[in-house]
Amino acid sequence: MTRLRSAQWYEGQDRNAYHHRAWTRRGLPDDAFTGRPQIAIADTASDLTPCNAHLTEVAASVRDGVHQAGGIPLHMPVMSLGETQMRPTAMLWRNLAAMATEEMLRANPIDGVVLLGGCDKTIPALLMAAASVDLPAVVVPGGPMLTGYFRGAPLGCGTAVWRMSEEVRAGTLSEEEYARSESAMVRSRGHCNTMGTASTMALVSEALGMVVPGVAGTPAPDSRLLQAAHGTGRLAVEMVTADRRPRTFLSKASFHNAIVTLAAIGGSTNAVVHLLAIAGRLGIDLTLDDFDRVSAQVPVLVDLLPAGRFLMDDFHRAGGLRAVLREVRDLLDPTALTVTGKPLVDCIGQAPLWDEEVIHTRASPLLTAGGIAVLRGSLAPDGALIKPAAASEHLLHHRGRAVVFDSIEDFHARIDDPHLDVDSGSVLVLRGCGPKGYPGMPEVANMPLPRKLLDQSVRDMVRVCDGRMSGTAYGTVILHVAPEAAAGGPLAVVRTGDFISLDTQARRIDLDVPAAELARRSPVKAHFASPARGWERLYIDHVQQADTGADLDFLLGASGSHVARDPH
């Protein structure tokens, strides 16, 4: 093993080394600073991130594993982003969390890191940081919650609230019953139990190679998660000894496998913007075209809400990710490695499939294709996404009249107006919700339907937005439209009454207005009040568009782990 990075802080008898050892010692043995890897446990536990609140217990198991392998574990709380709590949107701070974590990893005397995440933005932010600082790193996902039940039926955390809130608006569910469901929704510790963004990013991270194979998807209350955390702590020490850093095993092939997995599990569209951002930190040329090309070859095998019927503890019971990967083994790139140093394909094993209703076989897929499709056209020159598996089949090819909303506030003010000129064939357009325009690209693209159409039993419409949608949501939604309206994209010149054409099979989304007419129109100004200071100002000035990952332009690439100067 080469000289440990932490030795730059602890070796020698000068005043700086004395200070570093003395302030950290606090009961550690004398040999703690001589040849023993210093492993940070980057913990996103927070009471304000309810999905991650249990991670301190997981961190204790990681600590035991690091100790057993001869390393020195160091608990390091890092910035935590609670999807359900933060205003205006947790996505506004994903890049800040990544930047802060990167800087803390670089600034401190550590040789490797175990990354503990769960809620939607925490694992992406941690992976972006790890890619940029390039120290030996491995992820332990916090795991999904157990299924809750209401009136004898399972509740998909997140998904059920979208459905029930629409039923309340339609008058088919009482306010009292809706309120009663609240205490049944979240049954245990852990993140959403649907195939939302949290579950998707945990599984995709394993396929990427950043999680010990077989761990992602383990329910948060399952004692096997603690066992896996212990083993991951041991592995982190081994990774330091082997100098196994992200850049030594993550490659374009790794992202290919992540995209195959994303399609096969019917995962969240949010994974696209996160994987693009992670690839940008690694300098890997990943584009929306890669997602469309790879996904088109992959069947959807997993029958989970929001696009299916089951939930994450069913998925784990049925065989989990390795059972899925076994079914699509021939579509995986065999050269892609994992944190273990072995190829992903060598870690699948026999992977028995125990329930073919939850995880379908390749011979009998849920859908022959339909994970995520990339649309382009006059309305989205740089691309937009649709999740066909969560859409209504009859709307995947559609032409309708636009009903335009200039902001989410404008939408809420008018959507239930009985005089709103809208019908079931209309296309709802919401702009001003992209990375710059909101700012932060919120999960508002899956717009609630007009009340008067709900009263007519309409339950889906084509919706177009430059924002995102929750991974737990569903519907015929075209989202991540790039460029966004606030960046001068075509969405800024759409007017109510214009016709929009969607052809999912042809991968097109077009504004049916003559080019000369569009050239005469003045783009609608963004509605947000531009902040004079702070993170929002920095974010708006430097955030990129969704088609490249919505990272900050000055954070692309990496700075490594070297720190040039000592404290003085």
Q: Is the pLDDT of residue 454 over 80?
A: yes
Please state the pTM of the whole predicted model.
0.96
User: Quick one: residue 494, left, alpha or beta (phi over 0 = left, psi -120 to 50 = alpha)?
Assistant: beta
288 is written with which tokens?
Answer: 């929306």
Q: Measured at the alpha carbon of residue 373, what is the angle toward residues 372 and 379, in degrees to the nearest 5? A: 130
Residue 311: the pLDDT is 96
Of all residues in the chain, the percent with pLDDT exceeding 90 is: 83
**Mean pLDDT to the nearest integer, 441-468:** 95
pLDDT band for position 308 (50/70/90)?
confident
How far lies 58's CA from each of 45, 112, 227, 238, in Å? 10, 17, 9, 19
**Mean pLDDT to the nearest integer, 310-327:** 97
Q: Is the pLDDT of residue 158 over 70?
A: yes
pLDDT band for position 362 (50/70/90)?
very high
Cα atoms in the 13 Å half-sphere on the side-chain side of 484: 34
Indicate the burial class of 451 (C-beta count within 10 angstroms; 0-12, 13-18, 19 or more): middle
> Looking up tokens 């693009």, which residue turns up?
276
Rounded CA separation 351/188 (Å): 27
In sequence order, what are the beta bridge partners of 46?
A: 49
Rounded CA separation 461/102 (Å): 42
**Mean pLDDT to the nearest integer, 501-519:** 95
How far lies 148's CA from each of 132, 152, 194, 234, 359, in Å? 39, 10, 11, 34, 21
User: Cα-flanking dihedrals φ and ψ of residue 173, to 5°?
Assistant: -135, 130
pLDDT band for position 530 (50/70/90)?
low
Tens of pLDDT, residues 280-297? 999 999 999 999 999 999
Rounded CA separation 242/259 (Å): 28
Q: Is the pLDDT of residue 199 over 90?
A: yes
Stretch among 22-31, 63-72, 195-204, 437-446 having the lowest mean pLDDT: 22-31
pLDDT band for position 375 (50/70/90)?
very high
Rounded CA separation 58/66 (Å): 13
Angle between helices 320-327 and 252-264 (to 10 degrees): 100
Contacts of 393 (CB under 8 A, 6+ apart): none
Q: How many Cβ atoms sit within 10 Å of the Cβ of residue 506?
A: 13
**Mean pLDDT to the nearest integer, 322-350:** 97
Indicate the burial class of 393 (C-beta count within 10 angstroms; 0-12, 13-18, 19 or more): exposed
String of DSSP letters for 506-520: TTEEEE-S-HHHHHH
533 is written with which tokens?
Answer: 């200071």
Rounded CA separation 527/417 (Å): 21
pLDDT band for position 58 (50/70/90)?
very high
Contacts of 126 (CB under 8 A, 6+ apart): 42, 44, 78, 97, 98, 101, 115, 116, 117, 139
Residue 105 and residue 113 in contact, taking contact as beta carbons nearer than 8 Å? yes
Stretch among 49-53, 251-255, 306-310, 363-367 having the lowest mean pLDDT: 306-310
Tens of pLDDT, residues 110-123? 999 999 999 999 99
Q: What DSSP state is assigned to residue 99? A: H
If you average pLDDT over every residue of the chain, what do you get? 94
When computed from its CA atoms, the radius of gyration of the chain, rounded to whole angstroms, is: 24
Residue 50 and residue 82 in contact, taking contact as beta carbons nearer than 8 Å? yes
- Domains in the chain with CATH codes: 39-147+187-347 (no CATH), 149-184 (no CATH), 373-528 (3.50.30.80)
* Strand 72-77 to 38-43 pairing: parallel
